[in-house]
Amino acid sequence: MAELHSGTQAIDRASSLLIHVLESETPPLLTELARIYGLPKSTTSRILSALERQGLLLRDRNGAYIAGSVLTQFALVKLQTWQFRVMVILN
């Protein structure tokens, strides 16, 4: 994990975990994320739970983490906007 700066450690950890989940080819499990980032499972669980409460992450039926409703909705709106702009340009 990148070097952490004083006062922002929780934000750095949460954003690193979120980015990892979003960039993973297969949805990661809690134990995998804790191991990769060298964090206790309890700390990792608290951070991931906070991201879940905010709609940024969601757990699939296997307990692995995937993008939550806030991010999927954001991506959908941006995709539709982009497609609309392309259609306008092409017509």
Where in the chain are the domains?
Answer: 9-90
Which option is the CATH number for 9-90: 3.30.479.30, 2.70.98.10, 1.10.520.10, 1.10.10.10?
1.10.10.10
For residue range 7-50, what is the model confidence (pLDDT) as tens digits?
689 999 999 999 999 999 999 999 999 999 999 999 999 999 99
For residue range 58-88, what is the model confidence (pLDDT) as tens digits?
999 999 999 999 999 988 888 887 766 666 6
pLDDT at 59: 97
Q: What CA–CA distances, in Å, run from 18 to 10, 13, 25, 83, 91? A: 12, 9, 14, 27, 38
HEC-encoded secondary structure of 3-63: CCCCCCHHHHHHHHHHHHHHHCCCCCCHHHHHHHHCCCHHHHHHHHHHHHHCCCEEECCCC
